A and B are shown apart, each in its own frame.
Chain A
Amino acid sequence: MISNQRSSEKLEKVIKEYSEKILSVSELNDYIFKKIESDPKLSFVCVSGEVTNLSESKNHLFFDLKDKNAKISCIIFSEKRRNIYEPREGEEVLVVGEVEYYKKLGKLRIKPIGIKPVGEGAYYRRIEELKQKLRREGLFDEIHKKPIPKLPERIGIVTSKDGAALRDVVNTIHRRFPNVDIYVKHSSVQGESAVEEICEGIEFLDKFNVDVIILARGGGSVEDLEPFNDERVARAIFNARTPIITGIGHKKDETIADYVADYRAITPTEAGKIAVQDKAELLKELDELEESLLQAFKKFKEIKEQEKKIEEMEIKIVKQEERIAKQEERVKRAERSKYVYIAIIVVLVVVILILLLWI
């Protein structure tokens, strides 16, 4: 408390002394700009480093040049790109150019006038070597990929509790399946402790009996995504019994974690989509199935009614036939009787005639 008060008093004193010399941000940036522009050493530099965070916007090419301890931004404007070698991500290069201070953003950057490729950069090489090693061991093999459950009841997420990625994943999951439960295990997703915390998060959720784990992180620089290119994270993913979906960065960001995961989603939002089916769609499918069942039953009943009618008609036909047969019999009998009567009459006539002749 006392020390706070003292420092506050000291600050007030300094501000009072400098009251005439207070600068606006523009004034300060102007000053730095002039200093840098007037330094002959900075108007022409030749720097060696590894290309990272390569991107393109409005046809301008942006990248960082880095070594083990530091990095600096570079920009090649669209009109210059035709004349300058275009480096690849992870390439070791020699950049010749001018150091410029971009006043608007207060940012130092190199404007290359020439670039010479030297070979693969150390970081890129290290990742490639690790990738090869894990591939040889079979960590990327399809045979090890576990199926993602269609109806998970408990979903685990390893990510930063303060990151936008968590909101994206949770909102996507609950938009598609509002009543599924989500368990979040906080982990740093960049910096020194990230690797350890990500591994701990995966191991914890694997034992916590969730049905699927999402490992998520929003976009960032190549350095920000470094933990996801770490061997320990790759092995933690591989050793988990629970299926794991990765949703790291953007489409262009591919990490070793993505190769080992059971499913690689291109963004955290996509990971949420893969984790659950759309409940409304599922209910619609059940309604369609019910409609098919009712239709099948309706047809079944119609067939049965037709069968019944046919049966009744058959019975009628049989009865009719019997009646006809009886009538035919009666006619035959009548025919037979007719001949008997004629015979009797003939006999009677003959007898009468004989009697008349005899008399």
Chain B
Amino acid sequence: MKDEEFERRIQEVLKIIKELERGEISIEKGEEIMRKGLDLLNELRRMLDNIGSGRVYLLDESRELNLG
């Protein structure tokens, strides 16, 4: 199930935003976590794209259904 993985990454990005808003870290550290946040967002987009192939299978006949 991708629910937890997805939610965990979203929370990580939110945490990074908060840390940047607090501004207590060095500029180098800030740049580093910002890049990490962008990577996480790209991972999230990839997760959505890799969920499946969008096929409809009719199990009783082991064939693909085309309802288009």
Residues of A within 8 A of B (CB): 149-154, 161, 166-167, 170-171, 174, 177-186, 204, 208, 211, 279, 282-283, 286, 289-290, 292-294, 296-297, 299-301, 303-304
When A and B form their complex, which 9 residue pairs have the shortest distance between CB atoms, in order from nearest? A181-B52, A296-B20, A179-B54, A300-B20, A297-B34, A151-B2, A182-B56, A303-B23, A296-B17
Query: Given the known A-B contacts A186-B58, A289-B41, are A180 and B51 also in contact in the complex, defined by CB atoms under 8 Å?
Result: yes
The answer to whether B23 touches A150, judged by C-beta atoms less than 8 angstroms apart, is: no
The answer to whether A153 touches B38, judged by C-beta atoms less than 8 angstroms apart, is: no
B residues near A294, Cβ cutoff 8 Å: 34
A residues near B14, Cβ cutoff 8 Å: 289
Given A283-B45, A289-B13, A300-B30, 11 more contacts at CB 8 Å?
A150-B6, A151-B3, A151-B6, A153-B1, A154-B52, A182-B55, A290-B41, A293-B13, A296-B17, A299-B20, A301-B30
Query: Given the known A-B contacts A151-B2, A293-B13, are A166 and B52 also in contact in the complex, defined by CB atoms under 8 Å?
Result: no
Contact with A along B19-56 (1 / 0, CB 8 A): 01101000100110010011001001101110111111
The answer to whether B67 touches A300, judged by C-beta atoms less than 8 angstroms apart, is: no
Count of residues in B whose CB is under 8 Å from the partner chain: 37
The answer to whether B54 touches A293, judged by C-beta atoms less than 8 angstroms apart, is: no
Please report the C-alpha to C-alpha distance between residue A195 and residue B20 in the assembled complex, in whole angstroms. Answer: 58
CB closest residue in chain B, given A287: B41
Which of A183, A286, A293 meets B45, CB within 8 Å? A286
A-B contact pairs, 27 of them (CB 8 A): A151-B3, A151-B48, A151-B51, A154-B52, A161-B65, A170-B67, A179-B49, A180-B52, A181-B54, A181-B55, A183-B57, A185-B59, A186-B58, A186-B59, A211-B1, A283-B45, A286-B41, A289-B41, A290-B38, A293-B13, A293-B17, A293-B38, A296-B16, A299-B20, A300-B20, A300-B21, A304-B23
The answer to whether A296 touches B56, judged by C-beta atoms less than 8 angstroms apart, is: no
Closest beta carbon of chain B to A190's beta carbon, Å: 18
Please report the C-alpha to C-alpha distance between residue A211 and residue B44 in the assembled complex, in whole angstroms. Answer: 19
Residues of B within 8 A of A (CB): 1-3, 6-7, 10, 13-14, 16-17, 20-21, 23, 27, 30-31, 34, 37-38, 41, 44-45, 47-49, 51-60, 65, 67
CB closest residue in chain B, given A292: B17
The answer to whether B21 touches A299, judged by C-beta atoms less than 8 angstroms apart, is: yes
CB closest residue in chain B, given A308: B27
Please report the C-alpha to C-alpha distance between residue A296 and residue B48 in the assembled complex, in whole angstroms. Answer: 25
CB closest residue in chain B, given A149: B3
A residues near B54, Cβ cutoff 8 Å: 174, 178-181
Please report the C-alpha to C-alpha distance between residue A204 and residue B44 in the assembled complex, in whole angstroms. Answer: 32
